[in-house]
Structure 1
Amino acid sequence: MTLFTTDPAVLVLEDGTRHVGRAYGAIGTTLGEVVFATGMTGYQETLTDPSYAGQIVLQTAPHIGNTGMNDEDPESRRIWVAGYIVRDPSRVVSNWRADESLDDALVSDGIVGISGIDTRAVTRHIRAAGSMRGGIFSGDAAAIDPEDQLRIVAEAPEMTGLNLSSVVSVGAAEVTPARGERIGNLAVLDLGVKQATIENLAERGFEVHVLPQNVTIDQIRAIDPVAVFYSNGPGDPAASGDHVELLRAVLDDRLPFFGICFGNQLLGRALGLGTYKLPFGHRGINQPVLDKATGRVEITSHNHGFAVDAPIEGEFESPHGYGRVEVSHVGLNDKVVEGLRALDIPAFSVQYHPEAAAGPHDANYLFDRFADLVRENTPKVQHPAEEAQG
C-alpha cells in the first residue's frame, strides 16, 4: 500500500480557490469538473460508474476506503473518475471481501487524488458557486507556480458541450443471456452502462445485446429486438445529436423504449424537449423522488449534472409529433424532472438509477414495468400468466 504518502498535493478550482493536502492514489496532474457525491457507502460502485468520466469526484463522507476494493462489485471494466478527493483515507482494509486497498486500485488505474483537505468546505463552496473545473496537482506538480496551475485548469474543457460516449462505450457488441422466462432480444445502447443494469435486465428475461454508441438503426433492427434501452453515461445531452436521431428512428418503429439517466435526457430531446445544466447536480444514494402516479416517495440513487426542461404538472404534446407526454417523477429537493412517460407510444425513462448500485432498491420495480411494457406492446411476446393458461 502507498497510503499516507508525504507527497504534497493541491486542489485548484477555476475561481482561484486552493486547498492543500496530501497525494492519494497516483502522482501527477489531473483535470475535470469537480462534483460531490453524498453516498455514505458504495465508493467502489461510484468510482467504476462510467457516468463519472471527466469528473473529479469529492466524497462528502469523511472516512473512505475501510472496505477496500473487490473483484465482485465493479460496475464496469475500470475506474472512470478523472480524479478523487477524500478527507480521511482508512488506515487499514478490514473487509473480508477485499482483494486490494482503494489506494492501490487508484494507483493501478492511474487516478490522481488528494486527501487531508476540508471536503465539507469544498462541498459548501460548490453548492454556493456551482460546479466548476478543477485540477489536482501532486508530487512535483504541486510545486508548479499557482498562477500556472490556475491557467492549466482554465484551459481544461468544460462539461457543457462535451460528448464522452465514445470514451466509455464498448467497441463491439457484447451479449448476456436471458435468465428465467425469455422475453426476447434487447438492444442496449452503451453510453456508459453499469453492470448492475445489465444483470437486472437479464433477470427479467431479456437477452441483453450491449451495442457500441455509434450503432445504426439498421444494425439495431438486425438483431430483431423486442425493445431498446438507452443507458446512463457522461457528457452533455445537447452534444449527442446522433443518439437523439437514432432514438427517433426507434420511436418511429414503435419499439418499446426505456432510458436511464443520460437515456432520460436523450428521450426528452427526442420528444422535442430541451435540457440544461444543473448548478451542482445530483450525485448520491439518498435523493427523494416523488412517483406522481402513486404518490409514493422513493429514496433513489443519482448521478447527473444535466436535466430535462419540461412542465412538471399535467400532460403536454411532444413538439416532435410523438403525442402526449407527462413528467412521471419529480425530485423533491429542487423540483427537477426525474422521469418522463409517453402516453401515445411505448416509451418511458427516469433520471435516476433503479439498478441501485450502490444505493436503495425503492425503484427496482421499474425493470418489471419495462418488461410488462414490452409484453403489452409486442404481439409475439406473451406474459407468463397467459402462457400458463395456454
Structure 2
Amino acid sequence: MKYQSKKKALILLADGTIFYGKAVGNNEGSAFGEVCFNTGMTGYQEIFTDPSYFGQIMVTTNAHIGNYGVKEGEEESDTVKIAGLVCKNFSYVPSRKGMTDSLEEFLDRNGLFAISDVDTRALVSYIRDHGAMNAVISTETDKIDELKKKLAEYPKMEGLELASRVSTKEPYFVGEPDATYKIAALDLGIKKNILRNLAKRDCYIKVFPFDSSFEEMKAFEPDGYFLSNGPGDPEPLSNAIEVAKKIMEEDQPLFGICLGHQIVALAQGISTFKMYNGHRGINHPVINHLTGKGEITSQNHGFAIDRKETEANSDIEITHTHLNDQTVMGIRHKSKNCFSVQYHPEAGPGPNDATYLFDQFIENIKQRKLETV
C-alpha cells in the first residue's frame, strides 16, 4: 500500500470539530459511533474484537498500529466489534513470529472502516477536555453538511441497550463436561478469555443468551453464576437485573465483571452514570482495600456505579477503588455470596495482577458446596 494512493478521510465530532487523515487500504464510506480512546501499547486485536466496544469508534493513542499483524486465537470474539478505527501510523508491512495475517487484511475481512494519519494526540486531548461524544469517520470529505445531519440523528450511548446485539442467540458450552464445577454465565458480551480462565480452573460453563431467565439458568444446576462484561448502558437491562436479584436471594455464588458489576449494583438499588470519559487501557491503577495492595489493571467502560449510593448501602462493601479518580472498581455483598469488579481480571489484553479474582470465585463456590453437604 503506497502512501500516495491513500484516500483523504476525516473524523467529524458531534460538536462539529473535524480532524483530517487518510483512509486505511482501499476502504471508502463512513462509520458512526461514540468516539473513545485506548491507551494500551499492545493488544489491538483483542481490543478490536472485545464485545464491550460494540458501537464505538476506537482511537488508539499508541503511534503505531498493525506492526505485529494478527494471530489466530488472540481474538476475544468471533468478529470485530468496534464501529471504526482511528490511528496515527498504520503499519502495512507487519513482522511477528507466528502471525497469521496483516491487520489490514484482518480489518478488510471483517468489513471494518479505518482511517490513519490523524493527529491522535490532538484528538485525544480534545476528547479528554470535551468528553465522550458521537462521531463519524468518512472518506466523503466533500459532504460535511450531510454527515453532520446524519451524525445528529445517531443515537447516543446513554440509555442505549446493546447487549442484545452481541450476546449469543443460543446457549453453548465451554470446558470439559466432567469438570468439578458447573458455571451458568449470562452473556451480555462475554470475552473468550473470561471463559478460558474459568475452564482452566476446572469449570464447565454453559453460556446463556442475555435475555435468559433465572429459572432457565438454574435448570443447569450450576455451582455458581457469572454476569459478563458487555457494551452500552446497563440500566435498560431489566432482565439481567432481575436475574442478579434472584441469584442473590438464593445466596448462590455470583461473580460479575464490568457490565456484570454494574448489573449487580443496580440489583442492590445502586444507580449508574455515564462517565465524562471512560476508562480504556491496560495501565489503570486500582487499590484493593481488602489486602492493601495495588493492582495495574485492564479496563474498558464508559459507565460506573455511584460511589455515594454505594457507601450509603449497608449491605454493600467497596473492595476496590480507582486511584486516578476514586471511582468504585469493586464491591461485595456483606451477607450474600456475591462480588464484582469494574475492570477486566482476564487480562485480554493487559496485566495479570487481578487474575486471583477467578480463584476467589472458585473458593466461594467450594465454601458454598461445603455448607450444603
TM-score range, shorter chain: over 0.9
In the other structure, the counterpart of 1:37 is 38
Aligned match of 1:54: 55
Please say if 1:163 is aligned against 2:132. no
The residue aligned with 2:75 is 74
Q: Offset at 1:24? A: 1.7
Residue identity matched to 1:82: A
Alignment of 1:125-140 (within 5 A): 125-138=126-139
Normalising by structure 2, what TM-score? 0.96
Shift of 1:315: 7.3
Q: Conserved in 2, the CA contact under 8 Å of 1:178 and 1:204?
A: no
Which of 193, 209, 213 pairs up with 1:212?
209
- Consecutive unaligned residues in structure 2, runs of 5 or more: none
Following the alignment from structure 1 to structure 2, what is the Cα–Cα distance between the partners of residues 3 and 20?
15
Match of 2:255 in 1: 258
Distance in 2 of aligned mates of 1:233 and 1:147: 33
Name the CA distance, whole Å, in 2 between partners of 1:224 and 1:380.
16
Matches within 5 A, 1:142-291: 142-144=141-143, 146-178=144-176, 182-291=179-288
The whole-number CA distance in structure 1 between the counterparts of 2:152 and 2:312 is 43
In structure 1, the gaps of 5 or more residues are 318-323, 383-390
Q: Give the secondary-structure state (helix, strand or coil) at the position aligned to 1:223.
A: coil
Q: Which letter does structure 2 place at the counterpart of 1:205?
A: D
**Structure 1, residues 109-150: CA drift from partner, whole Å, max 9, x if none?**
111111001001110001000000000112xx2321x12211
Larger displacement relative to structure 2 (169-178 or 154-163)? 169-178
| Structure 2 residue identity aligned to 1:316 | N
Secondary structure of the structure 1 residue equivalent to 2:40: coil
Q: Distance in 1 between matches of 2:236 and 2:285?
A: 29
Question: How many matched pairs?
Answer: 372
Is 1:366 aligned to 2:335, yes or no? no
Q: What is the CA–CA distance in structure 1 between the aligned matches of 2:87 and 2:364, rounded to whole Å?
A: 42
Give the Cα separation in 1 of the matches to 2:311 and 2:267. Answer: 20
Q: Kindly provide the amino acid, as one letter, of the partner of residue 335 in structure 2.
A: D
SS in structure 1 opposite 2:125?
A: helix
Deviation at 1:177, TM superposition (A): 2.0
Please, what TM-score do these two structures have when normalized by structure 1?
0.92
- Give the SS at the match of 1:246: helix
Aligned-residue Cα RMSD (Å) equals: 1.8
SS at match of 1:128: helix
Percentage identity across paired residues of the two chains: 40
2:293 equivalent in structure 1: 296
Gap change, CA 1:369 and 1:312, over 3 Å in 2: farther
Distance 1:312 1:222 in 2: 34
1:23 alignment partner in structure 2: 23
Range with greater deviation from structure 2 (335-344 or 92-101):
92-101
Q: Distance in 2 between matches of 1:124 and 1:342?
A: 38
How far residue 341 of structure 1 moved from its aligned partner, in angstroms, is: 0.6
Write the letter of the residue equivalent to 2:68: T
What letter is aligned with 2:245?
R
Q: Which whole-Å CA distance do the structure 2 matches of 1:277 and 1:5 have between them?
A: 40
